[in-house]
A and B are shown apart, each in its own frame.
Chain A
């Protein structure tokens, strides 16, 4: 009898204990897009399978100012150019780390990435204005036989001699799923930058698309632009085309 009582008491304690130890989870959503004059900039999908955060192809860093020992929070950019993160309320600084993104980010006098102060008080949206090297505009896709034909117009945004960059290549990617980019494609066509004569009309044609298993009558396509000396590519929106 007595033991039952003790066991019951312990169980009760176990159920109710530790309310004071736990922190509230972060609840404020911080989300937005990377934009140039309001237009989103599209990139490689973050297809990392958990584990280390730096597997993200393109990411921003947030640094919370409240603590002495600082380490960054990495926010991946999704393939539609958006990002979102659950945060604690507080004051943050946002930077684009060196070498991230197919765009220019302001730099300080000491040549480190300039920071953007972000105050998180409840959920908020923030579009971050950046200056891309190029914009990839008016993508058009068509199908002829089992080939996909695509064309885009490239607009050079950064034209000065110091920061301007040339086109390394333009690629048309085809995949079975909506995740389609340089790393995820079942078919692709490349056009070297040196072979482009007119930036206003860059046209590519893939080889025949192999039979899809299991069979499906449509594919997802996307055109990407690789800029010389810049790792991350700029993409057009994912489009579904019927074969």
Chain B
């Protein structure tokens, strides 16, 4: 019996064994797609494009918002180190991602060589690749200055010497010229589809072109204010003679988009603040948004902005929330409805000579509606609940009673009284409203957005029509066409409820700067704007200056974030009982004044990059 079994086994072995080696090693993978397979199917090419879209470099993203607190827009309730560093590192904000550039170059080359794609598909995919590449170079040039322009995939010949692959840095103006020319070249290849928000469109190409040209123009114009931020071969710095041409390009591109009538300012909700907040929340027929990074619940692509920024009074997740607190510096910048600027009226001179308010939100009445569309002020309602911000109670003798737990109750004259808001603020209590305010812009009001298991699908708006209008206004202003500039800027202001139009004479540099500051706060513009206007080193000058009393002035130092803490008057029977007063507070956690050094205008190119390519010159002043 055993013998039979043995011979059977041997026979089977002979019959089945030893396939041809080549065939054996050629088993088709079930989980890896080869290049030919990917570029043989338009759906897979779209996947490859999606992956490249997904990697668009961005300084701030919804899940990584902490950098907003590094300047003067917000207090970091928890990440206090942001207010304790004096110097910004030269390495901050740097980007040198030639891996990404290479993959885009390969994508373009492979799409062009693909046989299975229709000509229409090819045109669109190539144009999208060129958009992504130009956009990546735009991201690099605004951080590093001129960088090597590599527009095809480079191949190493394995000769042992890679020196022939080394490229020098292009001039800053050459990179901008390249970026602008690319956006111009692809605009007509891309679909005119204003409802397409996640892929490159005609509108996006024009909006990007206007932004890039405006940046280049202002660097050319204002570079004279920072003569040492310059490299002799033009890798950093653009000659002043080029400014006008860039501004003309910017204005023309913005006007082309405006006159195409594809996009319009978002105007749906009757309440102007809610309307402003909804620009970022409304994904259905949003006429203003041009390009976004989209998110979707239960798809894996979600973010934690709402989780980390929900008011603590209504947190859905234990100790989470309230991290980013808009600063008093920003809040007081929102002007009054008569187009004038004023610090918030909290006292009549001396700190304790308070002005009393019936409700905390009354302090902010009569201001730009965008204030309460951007910021949750004390007294605001979010998710249909009060956010409850107050720092303590002031008793009849003027003493302040406060606590160290959110919503703490204490006994005052035999009565139990809440002495701190459910959202704080409490000094040093992470997530409490230590800045006095919470975020409304980008903050998802949907129930569940504050839970770790659900999170938020609010999209990240990269380009929107209001910025195009402001870009057009700024370019027109720089070209001396103040009437044109007023026309565009007034559209944006009118939507925000500032119905008294600015006159031609009121269009000044300060106005342009201010309008971008309040319209585009927390939208990843502040740093780039301050850099291109060459006023970053003036505003963040390292002096420990007090909060400015001229919030409409562009060059006022603003090196430390101030907070505004509301207090409730507790004086039963007294006239001011349950009224509200406010104090300007400099948190004890804010220990240093920011200084933006001349070497910060362009980020440092690391020693590692220069070691592998000695042709790269260093950036100035570092």
**Which residues of A are in contact with B by a Cβ distance under 8 Å?**
47-49, 51-52, 54-57, 68-72, 97-99, 111, 182-185, 229, 231
The 4 A-B residue pairs with the shortest CB-CB distance in the complex, in nearest-first order: A99-B621, A71-B607, A52-B89, A54-B89
A229 contacts B593, C-beta separation under 8 Å: no
Answer whether residue B543 sits at the interface, using C-beta atoms and an 8 A cutoff: yes
Which of B86, B89, B227, B622 makes the CB contact (< 8 A) with A99? B622
Contacting A at CB under 8 A, from B35-94, are: 81, 84-87, 89-91
Q: Residue B604 at the A interface, CB < 8 A?
A: yes
Query: What are 10 sample pairs from A and B whose C-beta atoms fall under 8 A apart?
Result: A47-B86, A47-B592, A48-B85, A49-B81, A54-B622, A69-B611, A71-B606, A98-B599, A182-B542, A229-B227
B611–A70 contact, CB under 8 A?
A: yes
| Contact for A72 among B232, B598, B607, CB less than 8 A | B607
Cβ of B572 within 8 Å of any chain A Cβ, yes or no, is no
Taken together as a complex, chains A and B put the C-alpha atoms of A229 and B229 apart, in Å, by: 11
* A-side contacts of B593, CB under 8 Å: 183
Are B621 and A71 closer than 8 Å at their CB atoms? no
B residues within 8 A CB of A71? Answer: 606-608, 611
Kindly state whether residue B595 has any CB partner on chain A within 8 Å: yes
Contact A55 B86 (CB under 8 A): yes
Tell me if A98 and B620 are in contact (CB < 8 A).
yes
- B81: chain A residues at CB < 8 Å are 49, 51
CB pair B85–A99 under 8 Å, yes or no, is no
Docked pose: A194 CA to B137 CA in angstroms: 43
Report B-chain residues with C-beta under 8 Å of the C-beta of A183: 86, 542-544, 592-593, 595
Task: Assess the B85–A54 pair: CB atoms within 8 A.
Answer: no
Chain A residue numbers with a CB within 8 Å of B89 are 52, 54-55
For the complex, give the distance between the alpha carbons of A182 and B232 in Å. 32
Specify which of A57, A70, A111, A229 is in contact with B87 (CB 8 Å cutoff). A57
CB contacts (< 8 Å) of A51 on chain B: these are 81, 85
B618 at the interface (CB under 8 A from A): yes
Q: A54-B90, A55-B86 given as contacts; is B597 within 8 A of A231 (CB)?
A: yes
The SS class assigned to the A binding surface is: loop
In the complex, chain A residues whose CB is within 8 Å of the CB of B607: 70-72
Query: Would you give the shortest CB distance from B133 to chain A, in whole angstroms?
Result: 29
Given A98-B622, A185-B544, check contact A49 B87 (CB 8 Å): no
Shortest distance from the beta carbon of B168 to any chain A beta carbon, whole Å: 14
Q: Using Cβ atoms and an 8 Å threshold, which residues of chain A touch B153?
A: none
Main secondary structure of the interface of B (DSSP, over half): loop
| Contact A182 B87, beta carbon cutoff 8 Å | no
B298 at the binding interface (Cβ < 8 Å) = no
> Interface range on chain B: under 10, 10 to 19, 20 to 34, or 35 or more?
20 to 34
Instruction: State A98–B497 Cα separation when bound (angstroms).
Output: 49
Chain A residues positioned under 8 Å from B597 (CB to CB): 99, 231
A54 surroundings in chain B (CB, below 8 A): 87, 89-91, 604, 622
B228 proximal to A (CB < 8 A): yes
**A111 vs B543: C-alpha distance when bound (angstroms):** 32
Give bound CA distance, A183 to B228, whole Å: 23
A-B contacts, CB under 8 A, total: 67
State the CA gap A70–B608 with chains docked (Å): 8
- Which of chain A's residues has its CB closest to B604's CB? A54
B72 to chain A minimum Cβ distance, whole angstroms, is 15
B581 → A minimal CB distance (Å) = 22
Whether B84 contacts A49 by the Cβ 8 Å rule is yes
Which partner residue on chain B sits nearest A67 by CB separation? Answer: B611
Q: Could you tell me if B87 and A48 are in contact, using CB atoms closer than 8 angstroms? A: yes
Knowing A71-B608, A71-B611, say if A99 contacts B599 (CB, 8 Å). Answer: yes
- CB-CB nearest in chain A for B617: A112
Chain A residues whose CB sits within 8 angstroms of the CB of B87 once the complex forms: 48, 54-57
> Contacts of A57 on B, CB cut-off 8 Å?
86-87
A sample of 14 more A-B contacts (CB under 8 A), given A70-B607, A182-B543, A185-B544, is A48-B86, A52-B89, A52-B91, A54-B87, A54-B89, A55-B86, A56-B87, A71-B606, A71-B611, A98-B599, A99-B622, A183-B544, A183-B593, A184-B592
Given the complex of chains A and B, what is the CA–CA distance between A229 and B226 in angstroms? 8
Q: Identify the closest chain A residue to B597 (Cβ).
A: A231
Once bound together, how far apart are the Cα atoms of A97 and B81, in whole Å?
27
Note all chain B residues with C-beta closer than 8 A to A56.
87
Q: Mark B522-561, 1 if CB is under 8 A from A, else 0.
A: 0000000000000000000011100000000000000000
Contact B620 A99 (CB under 8 A): yes
Report yes or no: B621 in contact with A98, Cβ–Cβ below 8 A. yes
B545 to chain A: closest residue by CB: A188
The CA-CA distance from A55 to B388 in the complex, in Å, is 38
Find chain B residues with CB under 8 A from A68 CB. 611
Question: Which residues from B are CB-within-8-Å of A99?
Answer: 228, 597-599, 620-622
CA distance A104 to B117 in the complex (A): 62
Minimum distance in angstroms from B333 CB to a CB of chain A = 24
- Could you say which residues of chain A place their CB within 8 Å of the CB of B606? 71
Q: How far is A125 from B597 in the complex, measured between Cα atoms in Å?
A: 30
> Nearest-CB distance from B573 to chain A (Å)?
34
CB within 8 Å of A: which B157-198 residues: none
Q: When the two chains form their complex, are residues A97 and B86 in contact, meaning their CB atoms are under 8 A apart?
A: no
Please pick, from A49, A69, A70, the residue contacting B85 in the complex, using a CB distance under 8 A: A49
In Å, the complex CA distance between A52 and B86 comes to: 12
Closest residue of chain B to A98 (Cβ to Cβ) is B621
Bound Cα distance A185, B232 (Å)? 38
When distances are taken between beta carbons in the complex, the residues of chain A under 8 Å from B611 are 68-71
Docked complex Cα distance between A56 and B595 (Å): 12
Chain A residues whose CB sits within 8 angstroms of the CB of B595 once the complex forms: 183
B598 and A231 within 8 A (CB): yes
- Residues on A with beta carbons closer than 8 Å to the beta carbon of B228: 99, 229
Return B327 CB to nearest CB of chain A, in Å. 19
In whole angstroms, what is the CA distance A54 to B605 when docked? 13
A242 to B: closest C-beta gap in Å: 24
Tell me which residues from 573 to 613 in chain B have a Cβ below 8 Å from any Cβ of chain A.
592-593, 595, 597-599, 604, 606-608, 611
In the assembled complex, which residues on chain B have CB atoms less than 8 Å from the CB atom of A182? 542-544
Cα distance, A129 to B607, chains bound together (Å): 27
Encode contact with A along B213-239: 1 for CB under 8 Å, 0 otherwise: 000000000000001100010000000
Residue of A nearest to B611 (CB): A69
| Interfacial chain A residues near B86, Cβ < 8 Å | 47-48, 55, 57, 183
Name the A residues within 8 Å of B620 (CB-CB). 98-99
